[in-house]
Amino acid sequence: MRGHLGVLSRQLSTIKAGRLARNGWICHSCRTGQVRRKLFSSSAALRDAKEKPYYVTTPIFYVNASPHVGHLYSMLIADVLKRWQVLKGRPAILSTGTDEHGMKVQRAAELQDVPPKALCDANAETFKDLARKANISNDHFIRTTDPEHRDAVEYFWTGLRDSGYIYETKHEGWYCVSDETYYPDNAVEKRVSPVTGKTFMASVETGNAVEWTEERNYHFRLTAFRDRLLKFYAESPGWIVPSNRFAEVVSWVQNNLEDLSISRPVSRLDWGIPVPDDSSQTIYVWVDALINYITVAGYPVWPPGDEHTKGWPADVHIVGKDIVRFHSVYWPALLMALDLPLPKRILSHGHWLMSRQKMSKSVGNVVNPFFAIDRWGVDTMRYFLIYNGAMAHDSDYSNEFIVDRYKKGLQRGLGNLLNRITRPKNWKVAEIVSSMSSKQSEPLPEVVDIHRGELERLVGKVEGHMEELNPSGALREIMKLVFETNRFIQEASPWAKTDEDDAAAVEQIVFYAAESLRLVGILLQPFIPEKANEFLDRLGVSHDRRTIQYAVLHADDSYGTPMITLGEGAHSSLFPPIPVED
C-alpha cells in the first residue's frame, strides 16, 4: 500500500481550495461546478467535538420497492444503540439512507417505465418517512446519488487503481440481479417456478434467479487480502456478532475467496457511477454502496489527525444476515487496500418471517411498516420488534404476537405497575420520596431488601447486554424487573396496611417500588422513547434527571408529583386497551 493518508494530506490544500483531485482526476462536483451540498446535519456541539462520536449505521436500502418491516428492524436496532449512548452522555451519530444504483433499480425503473432518478427520488422519500414515523434519531440520510457520495466513490476507486489492486479481465459467471451479486457454479441450482412451471437457475442460498453473464470488467484483487483478513479475524474476537456468523465468515474466506468483479459494462448497466477514466464501465453497486459509510463521515476530506471527528471508524454496522459477507469480507479488504481504519464491529441480525418464509418483496409476503405503526402505535411496534427479534436466529411476525406482547408487557406489566404506585389516595409518592431521602441506611425487612438488591444490579445487567449488542436481552432484563416489582408489591400489599404502626413499612415498600419505576423509565427511553417520556412525566421525574447517572438508587430525591393529569378510567392509562381486533 502506498501511503493513502499521506497522499490525502498532501492534497488537503487542494481540497481546502474547494477542489478534490488525485493524479489528474478531478472530482465530479468540481468538474460540473455543482456546489457541494452539506451532508452533515449534526449539532454544533458534535461538529466542534474532538472526541470521536459513537457512530452506528444501518444498511442503505434498495429503492426498487417500498420499505417493509425487515427494513424497519435494521433501523430500529441502530436507533436503540445510538439512543443508549446518548443516555450515557456520549455524542453519537446514526446514519441511514438509500442504495440507489445498480441493475435492480435500473430494471425496476424500466418495468415501471420511469426514469431511474424519479423512482429513486420517490422511494428515498418513503424511507425517510419511515425513519421519521418510527422515531429513528438519524443524523444523516445518505443517498448514493448524492454528489458528495459520487466524489467519495470516484476518489476511493482512483486510490484502489493507483495502489495496483484493480485489473481488467474477462468475466464469466452467474449474476443475480435481486441479490446484486455473482455466485460461483457450486452455489446455483436448477429450480422449477411454482407459478409458471418453468425451470430456471437460482442461487441455492436465496432462491433468487441468476443469469449467465460473459463480459470484460474490472476486478479487485480480493485474494491478495486473504492472509490479512484471516489474521485480522483471529486478532479481533467478537468483531462479528453473533459468533456463529463470525465462524461462517472465517470459513468462507478460508475456502471460497476469489477476486471480485467490481464493474459492469455500461451497455448492461448504466445506472451507476462511471469508472473514472473509463466511461465504458459502471462501478459495481456494492462497492459504491459500502463507501456510503465513509462518505457520511466526511471522506475524503479528512484533515490529518481529525479523521475521527465525524465518526469513522464506525462503532457498529448493523446488517441483516444476508449481507454479512459484503460487510465483513469485501468491505474490510477494500479499506485495507487504502490503509483506512476498519469498522469496530459488525452486528448481524436474523430475518423476520411470515409463515416460516423470509419476509421479502420477491416472495410477496411483506408487512407494510406504515400500516403496522398506524395500527399498533410506534412504541408498541418498537417494543415488539426489539423484544421478539433476534440476532442469531429468525423471528416470526404476527399480529397475535404483537397483541400478546402489548397486553403482557406494556399493559399488565408496565402500565399496571405505574397505576398501582401513582394512583392510590392513601399515599403520596413525592412525600415518601422526600421522607426516605434521609433514611437511606435504615435496615429493611427481608422482602424489601431482596427487591432493593435486584434494583441495584439492574443497570449493570442492562449495560452488559447493550455492550454485547443485544438490545433484546437488555429490554427483557428491564421487563423482568417490572414483572418482579409487580410480584413484590403484590406480596408486600402496602394498600392492605392501614395501621398507624405500619406507616414506616408502607413508606419503604412504596419507595422501592417507585424507585423501580424511575429506573425502569430511564432505561426504557432508548427502546420506547415516547412512552418512556410520558411514563416519567406521570411519575414526575424532571427532564434533567433522566440520564443514566440518575439510574441509581436514591439519585433523585424530588420526584413523585405527576407533570400531567393522570385522569380516571382505563382509557386514560399510558397503555389503553387496544382497538377491537379484526
Residues at the site binding ligand MSP, with contacts judged by CB under 6 A: 59-62, 70-71, 73-74, 99, 289-290, 292, 319-320, 322-323, 351-352, 358-360
Q: Which residues pair with 98 in a beta bridge?
A: 61, 143
C-beta closer to ligand MSP: residue 397 or 575 = 397
C-beta closer to ligand MSP: residue 331 or 511 = 331
> CB atoms < 10 A from the CB of 92, how many?
23
CB of 311 to ligand MSP, least distance (A): 16
CB of 35 to ligand MSP, least distance (A): 26
Q: Which three cell numbers stand for residue 243?
A: 459468533
CB of 157 to ligand MSP, least distance (A): 16
- Phi then psi for residue 52, to 5 deg, are -70, 125
- Amino acid in position 409: G
Query: Which runs of consecutive H residues, i.e. helices, occur in 377-501?
Result: 378-388, 399-405, 416-422, 429-436, 446-467, 471-492
Residues 556, 517, 94: CA angle, nearest 5 degrees: 85
CB of 457 to ligand MSP, least distance (A): 32
Residues 4, 229, 180: CA angle, nearest 5 degrees: 85
C-beta closer to ligand MSP: residue 152 or 514 = 152
CB of 538 to ligand MSP, least distance (A): 34
C-beta closer to ligand MSP: residue 245 or 546 = 245
CA 540 – CA 529 distance, rounded (Å): 16
CB of 462 to ligand MSP, least distance (A): 24
C-beta closer to ligand MSP: residue 34 or 126 = 126
Residue nearest to ligand MSP (CB): 320
CB of 284 to ligand MSP, least distance (A): 12
CB of 96 to ligand MSP, least distance (A): 10
CB of 388 to ligand MSP, least distance (A): 12
CB of 50 to ligand MSP, least distance (A): 28
C-beta closer to ligand MSP: residue 69 or 202 = 69
CA 160 – CA 275 distance, rounded (Å): 12
Residues 6+ apart with CB under 8 A from 381: 72, 134, 369, 372, 373, 402
C-beta closer to ligand MSP: residue 319 or 513 = 319
CA 347 – CA 405 distance, rounded (Å): 25
- Phi then psi for residue 413, to 5 deg, are -80, -80
Q: Which three cell numbers stand for residue 206?
A: 436465496
The answer to whether the CB of 271 falls within 8 A of the CB of 116 is: yes
CA 494 – CA 222 distance, rounded (Å): 67
Give the Å distances, CA to CA, from 179 to 175, 208, 360.
Answer: 9, 7, 12
Closest residue by Cα to residue 540 from 576, 506, 566: 566
CB of 74 to ligand MSP, least distance (A): 5
Residues 6+ apart with CB under 8 A from 398: 354
C-beta closer to ligand MSP: residue 145 or 485 = 145
C-beta closer to ligand MSP: residue 385 or 417 = 385
Residue 502 gets which letter from DSSP? Answer: G
CB of 61 to ligand MSP, least distance (A): 4
C-beta closer to ligand MSP: residue 55 or 61 = 61
C-beta closer to ligand MSP: residue 160 or 536 = 160
The answer to whether the CB of 213 falls within 8 A of the CB of 361 is: no
DSSP per position, 300-356: T---TT-GGGG-PSPSEEEEEGGGHHIIIIIHHHHHHHTTPPPPS-EEEE--EEETT
C-beta closer to ligand MSP: residue 155 or 511 = 155
